[in-house]
Structure 1
Amino acid sequence: MAWVFLVVAGLFEMFGVAMINRLNKYRNFLSFALLFLGFGASFLFLSLAMKSLPMGTAYAVWTGIGASGGAILGMLLYGEAKDWRRIVCIIMILGAAVGLKLIA
Protein backbone atom coordinates (compact mmCIF):
# COMPACT_ATOMS: atom_id res chain seq x y z
CA MET A 1 0.00 0.00 0.00
CA ALA A 2 2.95 2.32 0.66
CA TRP A 3 3.90 2.29 -3.02
CA VAL A 4 0.35 3.25 -3.97
CA PHE A 5 0.54 6.15 -1.52
CA LEU A 6 3.87 7.16 -3.03
CA VAL A 7 2.55 7.18 -6.59
CA VAL A 8 -0.51 9.17 -5.49
CA ALA A 9 1.82 11.62 -3.72
CA GLY A 10 3.79 11.99 -6.95
CA LEU A 11 0.63 12.62 -8.96
CA PHE A 12 -0.46 15.31 -6.51
CA GLU A 13 3.04 16.79 -6.80
CA MET A 14 2.53 17.02 -10.57
CA PHE A 15 -0.84 18.67 -9.98
CA GLY A 16 0.77 21.16 -7.59
CA VAL A 17 3.42 22.06 -10.17
CA ALA A 18 0.71 22.64 -12.78
CA MET A 19 -1.11 24.86 -10.30
CA ILE A 20 2.02 27.00 -9.88
CA ASN A 21 1.73 27.73 -13.58
CA ARG A 22 -1.97 28.48 -13.19
CA LEU A 23 -1.30 30.80 -10.26
CA ASN A 24 1.22 32.72 -12.35
CA LYS A 25 -1.45 33.24 -15.03
CA TYR A 26 -4.51 33.77 -12.84
CA ARG A 27 -3.84 35.47 -9.52
CA ASN A 28 -7.04 34.46 -7.76
CA PHE A 29 -8.17 32.55 -4.70
CA LEU A 30 -9.11 29.40 -6.64
CA SER A 31 -5.62 29.09 -8.13
CA PHE A 32 -4.04 29.49 -4.70
CA ALA A 33 -6.46 27.01 -3.13
CA LEU A 34 -5.73 24.41 -5.82
CA LEU A 35 -1.99 24.93 -5.36
CA PHE A 36 -2.31 24.47 -1.60
CA LEU A 37 -4.53 21.40 -2.08
CA GLY A 38 -2.12 19.78 -4.54
CA PHE A 39 1.00 20.18 -2.45
CA GLY A 40 -0.82 19.49 0.82
CA ALA A 41 -2.17 16.19 -0.50
CA SER A 42 1.25 15.38 -1.93
CA PHE A 43 2.94 15.79 1.45
CA LEU A 44 0.17 13.87 3.20
CA PHE A 45 0.52 10.83 0.92
CA LEU A 46 4.33 11.05 1.02
CA SER A 47 4.21 10.91 4.82
CA LEU A 48 1.89 7.89 4.68
CA ALA A 49 4.26 6.13 2.29
CA MET A 50 7.25 6.89 4.50
CA LYS A 51 5.70 4.96 7.40
CA SER A 52 6.94 1.77 5.76
CA LEU A 53 9.35 2.83 3.01
CA PRO A 54 12.88 4.10 3.60
CA MET A 55 13.04 7.89 3.56
CA GLY A 56 15.72 8.05 0.86
CA THR A 57 13.83 5.76 -1.50
CA ALA A 58 10.47 7.41 -0.92
CA TYR A 59 11.84 10.92 -1.41
CA ALA A 60 13.80 9.98 -4.53
CA VAL A 61 10.80 8.30 -6.18
CA TRP A 62 8.45 11.14 -5.17
CA THR A 63 10.84 13.73 -6.54
CA GLY A 64 11.33 11.73 -9.73
CA ILE A 65 7.60 11.45 -10.36
CA GLY A 66 7.10 15.15 -9.68
CA ALA A 67 10.06 16.31 -11.79
CA SER A 68 9.45 14.06 -14.78
CA GLY A 69 5.69 14.52 -14.56
CA GLY A 70 6.09 18.29 -14.43
CA ALA A 71 8.31 18.20 -17.51
CA ILE A 72 5.82 15.98 -19.36
CA LEU A 73 2.92 18.26 -18.42
CA GLY A 74 4.93 21.23 -19.64
CA MET A 75 5.48 19.55 -22.99
CA LEU A 76 1.89 18.37 -23.40
CA LEU A 77 -0.07 21.29 -21.99
CA TYR A 78 2.15 24.36 -22.13
CA GLY A 79 4.04 24.05 -25.40
CA GLU A 80 7.49 23.42 -23.93
CA ALA A 81 10.14 21.89 -26.19
CA LYS A 82 9.78 18.17 -26.95
CA ASP A 83 13.45 17.67 -27.74
CA TRP A 84 14.56 14.04 -27.81
CA ARG A 85 17.26 14.78 -25.21
CA ARG A 86 14.64 15.97 -22.73
CA ILE A 87 12.64 12.80 -23.32
CA VAL A 88 15.74 10.62 -22.79
CA CYS A 89 16.43 12.40 -19.49
CA ILE A 90 12.82 11.88 -18.36
CA ILE A 91 13.12 8.18 -19.21
CA MET A 92 16.32 7.98 -17.14
CA ILE A 93 14.60 9.61 -14.16
CA LEU A 94 11.67 7.19 -14.38
CA GLY A 95 14.06 4.27 -14.87
CA ALA A 96 15.91 5.23 -11.69
CA ALA A 97 12.62 5.38 -9.79
CA VAL A 98 11.68 1.91 -11.04
CA GLY A 99 15.16 0.67 -10.08
CA LEU A 100 14.70 1.96 -6.54
CA LYS A 101 11.35 0.16 -6.36
CA LEU A 102 12.95 -3.09 -7.44
CA ILE A 103 15.69 -3.00 -4.80
CA ALA A 104 13.70 -1.47 -1.90
Structure 2
Amino acid sequence: MAWVILIIAGVAEVTAVTLLKLSDGFKNKGYLAATIIASVVNFYLLSLALESLPVGTAYGIWTGIGALGSVLIGMIFFRESKEWIRLLFMSFIIIGIVGLKMTTA
Protein backbone atom coordinates (compact mmCIF):
# COMPACT_ATOMS: atom_id res chain seq x y z
CA MET A 1 0.00 0.00 0.00
CA ALA A 2 2.94 2.35 0.69
CA TRP A 3 3.90 2.25 -3.00
CA VAL A 4 0.41 3.28 -4.07
CA ILE A 5 0.45 6.12 -1.53
CA LEU A 6 3.86 7.20 -2.83
CA ILE A 7 2.60 7.32 -6.43
CA ILE A 8 -0.43 9.37 -5.36
CA ALA A 9 1.92 11.69 -3.45
CA GLY A 10 3.94 12.13 -6.66
CA VAL A 11 0.80 13.02 -8.60
CA ALA A 12 -0.12 15.50 -5.85
CA GLU A 13 3.38 17.01 -6.23
CA VAL A 14 2.84 17.50 -9.96
CA THR A 15 -0.55 19.03 -9.21
CA ALA A 16 0.98 21.45 -6.68
CA VAL A 17 3.71 22.55 -9.11
CA THR A 18 1.20 23.04 -11.92
CA LEU A 19 -1.06 25.10 -9.67
CA LEU A 20 1.96 27.12 -8.56
CA LYS A 21 2.65 27.96 -12.22
CA LEU A 22 -1.00 28.95 -12.68
CA SER A 23 -0.87 31.19 -9.59
CA ASP A 24 1.21 33.62 -11.69
CA GLY A 25 3.73 34.51 -9.01
CA PHE A 26 1.14 34.34 -6.19
CA LYS A 27 -1.04 36.95 -7.93
CA ASN A 28 -3.97 34.58 -8.47
CA LYS A 29 -5.14 33.83 -4.93
CA GLY A 30 -7.44 30.97 -5.97
CA TYR A 31 -4.60 29.02 -7.55
CA LEU A 32 -2.36 29.95 -4.63
CA ALA A 33 -4.86 28.45 -2.16
CA ALA A 34 -5.15 25.32 -4.31
CA THR A 35 -1.32 25.09 -4.43
CA ILE A 36 -1.13 25.16 -0.64
CA ILE A 37 -3.80 22.47 -0.31
CA ALA A 38 -2.12 20.23 -2.90
CA SER A 39 1.23 20.73 -1.17
CA VAL A 40 -0.15 19.75 2.22
CA VAL A 41 -1.77 16.63 0.72
CA ASN A 42 1.41 15.79 -1.14
CA PHE A 43 3.67 16.03 1.95
CA TYR A 44 1.16 14.20 4.12
CA LEU A 45 1.02 11.29 1.68
CA LEU A 46 4.80 11.26 1.38
CA SER A 47 5.05 11.10 5.18
CA LEU A 48 2.69 8.10 5.21
CA ALA A 49 4.77 6.31 2.58
CA LEU A 50 7.94 7.01 4.60
CA GLU A 51 6.54 5.03 7.53
CA SER A 52 7.35 1.79 5.70
CA LEU A 53 9.64 2.68 2.78
CA PRO A 54 13.32 3.65 2.96
CA VAL A 55 13.69 7.43 2.91
CA GLY A 56 16.20 7.54 0.05
CA THR A 57 14.11 5.30 -2.18
CA ALA A 58 10.80 7.00 -1.40
CA TYR A 59 12.16 10.52 -1.78
CA GLY A 60 14.01 9.66 -4.98
CA ILE A 61 10.93 8.12 -6.57
CA TRP A 62 8.64 10.93 -5.35
CA THR A 63 11.04 13.52 -6.75
CA GLY A 64 11.33 11.61 -10.03
CA ILE A 65 7.56 11.41 -10.43
CA GLY A 66 7.33 15.13 -9.67
CA ALA A 67 10.05 16.08 -12.12
CA LEU A 68 8.84 13.83 -14.90
CA GLY A 69 5.21 14.80 -14.43
CA SER A 70 6.05 18.49 -14.37
CA VAL A 71 8.02 18.25 -17.59
CA LEU A 72 5.15 16.39 -19.26
CA ILE A 73 2.60 18.96 -18.06
CA GLY A 74 4.87 21.73 -19.36
CA MET A 75 5.12 20.07 -22.75
CA ILE A 76 1.40 19.36 -23.04
CA PHE A 77 -0.18 22.48 -21.55
CA PHE A 78 2.47 25.22 -21.48
CA ARG A 79 4.05 24.74 -24.92
CA GLU A 80 7.46 23.82 -23.57
CA SER A 81 10.01 22.21 -25.85
CA LYS A 82 9.45 18.63 -27.00
CA GLU A 83 12.95 18.19 -28.39
CA TRP A 84 14.26 14.65 -28.59
CA ILE A 85 17.06 15.43 -26.13
CA ARG A 86 14.52 16.33 -23.43
CA LEU A 87 12.75 13.03 -24.07
CA LEU A 88 16.08 11.21 -23.79
CA PHE A 89 16.82 12.77 -20.40
CA MET A 90 13.26 12.03 -19.26
CA SER A 91 13.94 8.37 -20.03
CA PHE A 92 16.92 8.54 -17.65
CA ILE A 93 14.57 9.65 -14.88
CA ILE A 94 12.29 6.70 -15.64
CA ILE A 95 15.27 4.33 -15.55
CA GLY A 96 16.26 5.78 -12.16
CA ILE A 97 12.76 5.36 -10.74
CA VAL A 98 12.54 1.76 -11.95
CA GLY A 99 16.05 1.03 -10.66
CA LEU A 100 15.23 2.39 -7.19
CA LYS A 101 12.03 0.33 -7.07
CA MET A 102 13.82 -2.83 -8.19
CA THR A 103 16.54 -2.50 -5.59
CA THR A 104 14.19 -1.95 -2.65
CA ALA A 105 12.74 -4.88 -0.71
- Same fold per superposition (TM over 0.5): yes
Alignment pair present for 1:103 and 2:103 = yes
Alpha-carbon deviations, 1:38-95, whole Å to 9, x = none?
Answer: 1111101100000000000000000000011101100000000001110111111011
| 1:39 alignment partner in structure 2 | 39
Letter in 1 for 2:42: S
| 1:7 alignment partner in structure 2 | 7
Any stretches of 5+ residues in structure 1 without a counterpart?
A: none
1:11 is paired with a residue whose SS is helix
TM-score, normalisation: structure 1 = 0.95
Contact 2:6/2:58 (8 A) holds in 1: yes
| 2:52 alignment partner in structure 1 | 52
Any stretches of 5+ residues in structure 2 without a counterpart?
A: none
| 2:30 alignment partner in structure 1 | 30
Contact 2:26/2:32 (8 A) holds in 1: no
Alignment pair present for 1:21 and 2:7 = no
Shift of 1:25: 6.8
Tell me the C-alpha RMSD between the 2 structures.
1.2
Counterparts of 2:44 and 2:53 in 1: how far apart (Å)? 14
Shift of 1:28: 2.8
Alpha-carbon deviations, 1:4-33, whole Å to 9, x = none?
Answer: 010000000000110111001772321111
